[in-house]
Amino acid sequence: MSVSAHAADRAANPLHQTLGAPENWKVSGSFRTRLEAIDGQFRPAVAGDDFLLSFRTTLFAEYDGGPVRIGAELFDSRGYLQKKNSSAGTTEVNALELGQAYLGFDLDDRLGDGSSSAIMVGRFTQDIGSRRLVARNQFRNTINAFTGIRFDWQDAAKDELRLFWTMPHNRLPTEAEEIRHNQVEWDRESSDLQFYGASFTKAGMFGGTVELYGYGLHERDAPSYPTRNRRLFTPGIRFARAPRPDRFDYDFEGIYQTGQARATTGAADRTDLDVSAYFIHVEIGRSFAGGWSPRLVLQYDRASGDGPNSASYNRFDTLFGARRSEYGPTSLYGAIARANFSAPAVRLEMVPDKSWDGFVAYRPLWLEDATDSFSGTGVRDRRGTSGKFAGHQIEARARYWLIPKLARLDGGIAYLAKGRFLKDAPNAPDGDDTRYAYLDLTFTF
């Protein structure tokens, strides 16, 4: 979050008002309940149909003592009624976690007239740029969090800089039985997993913004925590123009990934492979004035997969990014991830009034490499004889404010018409096309 965005986020809210609106305090929270179901599962070795009732609660408080801020936030993410062999895991369940606990130091305009800057130390969440590599999760039931230090700066022209060094939190527990029972276990962070980098955004370029960034990730095995020993450097560039009525907008992003990693987390796997992977996103939209405020969007996404060359590793790693806004619901669904896929898309967004918004989208799906597992499905044909066509995805979503700014209903569906690959690959599950639906209600206070 930028410095200015952080300031705007400190506005009064219902819980803050209920507590008497103390001037130096910000207090807020949320509670979400979700029902979701899937049939015609695309993943191997999990329930062919499944149901999940999930809850997510957050409670945030921050004291502003002038140049110093003290903040904390509790997360509580729980799941119920899923099958024993459900795909639900640490992305759905993380009971009672202190996700944020930090000190913030506001430097105001000490680094230039009209600028604002701040330093944050401790546990925190963060969104950066497009959120494709670093995000605070919104749709997903659990939330990425980090322990470390970050610096934010913004000048009068709205140029922005972020520098950070962190230890990402590993969500616990990881055992299926403990997850099913929503067992409370504090998440783990250590220097065995480090994530750091910089992002600079230049405003007023080509009618929008230009963002340059580079992120490093370094991990090593720890007791009870085997890893692929990733040592990655991920540079990227993004050109973006925000949607507005009666004009075109765009979002072009290119990312490269290099470094070293191992093919598996096995203790016997000691071979470091050279990494060479990439991701591209192309998006052009057109917003129209008038009733329902329609926006028509054309997109194309491509992420590299790991080919048959045993001397290198080519599957793109999305790090700590979010994907619901572009690729459909996650949780029990989540067929598309930023790895080994190539897919155009068309999307129609609508805002009938201040209470309603929604969209419909269609996306045909191909593998980038026929021998790697397809995107987020886990389905793989190592010989590459099942072809590259994975199928068609259709999705729709609608949201409605039952009580403006306080209670919101959100519902959506996704349909995956399985193509040749998802039917013929050796570990592809038998069954019909995939059908998924969810309905959630969120209270913000």
User: Residue 8's pLDDT is what?
Assistant: 42
d(CA 232, CA 319): 10
DSSP 273: E
| Cα within 13 Å of Cα(99), Cβ side | 23
User: Residue 1's pLDDT is what?
Assistant: 43
What is the block-wise mean pLDDT of the chain (445 residues), using blocks of 10 residues? 42 70 89 99 97 98 94 98 97 98 94 93 98 98 99 97 98 96 96 98 97 98 90 99 97 99 90 97 96 97 92 97 97 98 99 97 99 98 98 99 97 99 98 97 97
User: Residue 6's pLDDT is what?
Assistant: 41
User: Residue 16's pLDDT is what?
Assistant: 75
pTM for the whole structure: 0.93
Residue 27 and residue 60 in contact, taking contact as beta carbons nearer than 8 Å? yes
User: Residue 12's pLDDT is what?
Assistant: 52
User: Residue 223's pLDDT is what?
Assistant: 81
d(CA 153, CA 163): 9
Neighbours of 313 (CB within 10 A): 24
d(CA 33, CA 29): 14
User: Residue 437's pLDDT is what?
Assistant: 99
d(CA 212, CA 236): 6
Q: For 373-429, where are the alpha helices, taking DSSP H only? A: 420-424
What is the b/e burial string over 363-393, where b = at least 16 CB atoms within 10 angstroms of the residue's CB? bbbbbbbbbbbbbbbbbbbeebebbbbbbbb
Residue 327 and residue 337 in contact, taking contact as beta carbons nearer than 8 Å? yes
What tokens appear for 438 in the block? 């969810």
3-state secondary structure at position 398: strand
